[in-house]
Amino acid sequence: MNRTTLSLIAGATALAAVTGLAALTTPDASGANTAEAAAELPVERTSLVCPAPSTSDLAETTYTSFTPVTKGTASDGKAELGSAAEESADPADGKDKKADDASRTGETGKAGKADKPVLAAKEPGKPVIGDASGADSPALIGTADGKFAPGWTVQETTEVAAGTGRGLQGVNCTAPDTEFWFPGASTAPDRTDYVHLTNPDDSAAVVDIELYGKDGAIETTVGEGITVQPHSAEPILLSTLTSEKQDNVTVHVSVRSGRLGASVQALDDKLGGDWLAASADPAGSLVLPGIPKDATSVRLVAFTPGDADADLKVRLASPSGPITPAGNETLHVKAGMTSAVDLGDVMRGETGSLVLTPTDQSVPVVAALRVVRGKGAKQETAFIPASRAVGTRATAVDNRAKGTTLSVTAPFRTAQVKVTASAGSEGGTAVSKTYTIKSGTTQDLEMPAPSGLKGTYALTVESVSGGPVYASRTLVATTEGVSGFTVQTLPDDRGMVAVPEADEDLSVLQK
């Protein structure tokens, strides 16, 4: 047998082996099921970034970390938050620290680890708390793996007793991404708004910041090609990007290379302040859940990034059912322009969620609400961006024995949800309860308090049946006689990932 014949046999064998491998990973053309449906498995790694909390010397900040108990996870793992400054390059050799391998199944991000973590989780199902004071607290970068990765949630809550932005400011630490929309920012004289950019990776990120006002794109001076160094954070003051003063601005953060975490800190001279989290991705229909029942003023800000105008129906999902706000039945959003409408005292003593749907043609939009509570010198502000649905599971942390409200809405179909109040950070026993949310309504749930609660606790919402649900948590605290508040939405924690399963089919080798 000559070499040519051997080569042909070897080539045929290799081709058969490759074809056989393909049969393990693709459906059979005849319709036979050679692969099982994708299995839902826990993610193995999660990364989060927390912005620098405040420039006020009076700031008191609490970080709360929590991972819900998830079946099917590894038996070990850890979750740590460290200062971004501690994760910079080693000055001895100029080389960046290497992050762990990012190719593991279900990974949601990666970041280096600080030598001395600011906060380290102890066990799933129990919150862990860390504190910081003053204006020098840095941005934090964190990674959770193994049993701590699925659903890892961290909140940064800051109390500021006086000055611009005084009150309660809260933000969920975010996963790194490449695009963010923030309708509801401002360059008005009484506002001081920052875009906080945090880079958790080993290479620099390059980002563009675009601003859109009532007449379209706002000319900026240094908004393009901003470099954020590895393991570092950059707060960008909006008023340094443009000289235009506008009450309602949409901020678009677009990452050219790398990944970032992004949040907007919106501080008002008279109305307090809070963090403005990114809106859900542009979509034809949006839900903005959990407007507090005692809101004294509500402003809707919307923007469409496409070339077509959007016409939206405006509905309020109240405890008794859908309501149309008088005089604000619809909203017209011009392409590339920020639109705003003041809904005033629309709540009238009842909780609710705003539901935006297209009147005719579906055009993607982003949106957020600015919500004000209190009167006169005791007014305080929070923001509610359009949110993704709770999906499989979502969690809110840093809940207190008093001043916590969980709002859940089922805007399209009746749904059932299971709510679990975790053990307390300093003691207590977890407890769960199932609720039915009727179609078109929003309910403030009477939550099951953990028995023997000590410290703060987490609230985990899980979809049981029915249509999609959306949720938010309002936290109220009094600082220097002013009732501050903050609202966080509860989007799906993406703690589970679909992993296809395959069966061996060697019959292809006989064809």
**Local confidence band at 115 (pLDDT 50, 70, 90 cut-offs):** low
Strand partners, 365: 283
pLDDT of residue 505: 61
Residue 15 has pLDDT above 60, yes or no: no
pLDDT of residue 6: 37
Residue 12 has pLDDT above 50, yes or no: no
Segment 434-439 shows an average pLDDT of: 98
Domain boundary, last residue among 349, 371, 393:
371
Q: Find all residues with CB under 8 Å of 403, minimum gap 6, and list them.
A: 475, 476, 477
348 vs 344, 356, 365, 375, CA distance in Å? 10, 20, 27, 15
Among residues 203, 144, 209, which one has the least CA distance to residue 175? Answer: 144
Q: Checking phi first, is residue 407 left (phi over 0); if not, alpha (psi -120 to 50) or beta?
A: beta
Task: Assess if residue 263 is contained within a domain.
Answer: no
Segment 442-462 shows an average pLDDT of: 92
pLDDT of residue 213: 98
pLDDT of residue 509: 60
CB neighbours (10 Å) of residue 71? 6
Task: Assess if residue 303 is contained within a domain.
Answer: yes
pLDDT of residue 478: 83
Task: Assess if residue 245 is contained within a domain.
Answer: no
Helix (H, G, I), strand (E, B) or coil at 5: helix
Task: Assess if residue 112 is contained within a domain.
Answer: no
Structural contact between residues 463 and 361, judged by C-beta atoms closer than 8 angstroms: no
Higher pLDDT pick, 191 / 3: 191
Percent of the chain exceeding pLDDT 70 equals: 85
**Local confidence band at 508 (pLDDT 50, 70, 90 cut-offs):** low
Strand partners, 374: none
Helix (H, G, I), strand (E, B) or coil at 249: strand
**Local confidence band at 116 (pLDDT 50, 70, 90 cut-offs):** confident
Residue 35 has pLDDT above 70, yes or no: no
| Best-predicted range by mean pLDDT (36-45, 87-96, 163-172) | 163-172
**Local confidence band at 504 (pLDDT 50, 70, 90 cut-offs):** low
Domain boundary, last residue among 371, 396, 415:
371
Residue 199 has pLDDT above 90, yes or no: yes
Counted domains in the chain: 2
Residue 33 has pLDDT above 60, yes or no: no
pLDDT of residue 501: 67
Segment 81-110 shows an average pLDDT of: 44
Task: Assess if residue 376 is contained within a domain.
Answer: no
Structural contact between residues 101 and 134, judged by C-beta atoms closer than 8 angstroms: no
Residue 94 has pLDDT above 50, yes or no: no
Structural contact between residues 219 and 209, judged by C-beta atoms closer than 8 angstroms: no
Residue 350 has pLDDT above 70, yes or no: yes
72 vs 40, 43, 244, CA distance in Å? 10, 10, 53
pLDDT of residue 131: 93
Domain boundary, last residue among 371, 389, 423:
371
pLDDT of residue 449: 80
User: pLDDT (tens digit, 9 = 90+) per residue, 386-403?
Assistant: 999 999 999 999 999 999
Tokens coding 284? 């034809």
Structural contact between residues 140 and 49, judged by C-beta atoms closer than 8 angstroms: yes
Q: Which residues of 243-278 are buried (b: 16+ CB within 10 A; e: fewer)?
A: eeebbbbbbbbebeebbbbbbbbbbbeebbbbbbbb
pLDDT of residue 36: 58
Q: Find all residues with CB under 8 Å of 21, minimum gap 6, and list them.
A: none
Among residues 365, 391, 343, 369, which one has the least CA distance to residue 181? Answer: 365
pLDDT of residue 483: 82
Q: What distance in Å separates the CA atoms of residue 112 and residue 220, rounded to the nearest whole number?
A: 33
**Local confidence band at 39 (pLDDT 50, 70, 90 cut-offs):** confident
Q: In what order do the strands lie in the sheet with 441-445?
A: 441-445, 404-410, 470-479, 482-489
**Local confidence band at 280 (pLDDT 50, 70, 90 cut-offs):** very high
Segment 227-242 shows an average pLDDT of: 96
Q: What distance in Å separates the CA atoms of residue 511 and residue 452, rounded to the nearest whole number?
A: 68
E strand map for 309-403: 310-318, 321-323, 330-333, 338-344, 352-358, 366-373, 380-385, 393-399
User: pLDDT (tens digit, 9 = 90+) per residue, 123-148?
Assistant: 999 999 999 999 989 999 999 999 99
Task: Assess if residue 290 is contained within a domain.
Answer: yes
User: pLDDT (tens digit, 9 = 90+) per residue, 316-325?
Assistant: 999 999 999 9
Residue 13 has pLDDT above 50, yes or no: no
Structural contact between residues 388 and 410, judged by C-beta atoms closer than 8 angstroms: no
Task: Assess if residue 208 is contained within a domain.
Answer: no
Residue 100 has pLDDT above 50, yes or no: no
pLDDT of residue 482: 73
Give me the domain span that covers residue 322: 286-371
pLDDT of residue 38: 72
Task: Assess if residue 319 is contained within a domain.
Answer: yes
CATH code where residue 297 lies? 2.60.290.11
Segment 332-349 shows an average pLDDT of: 95
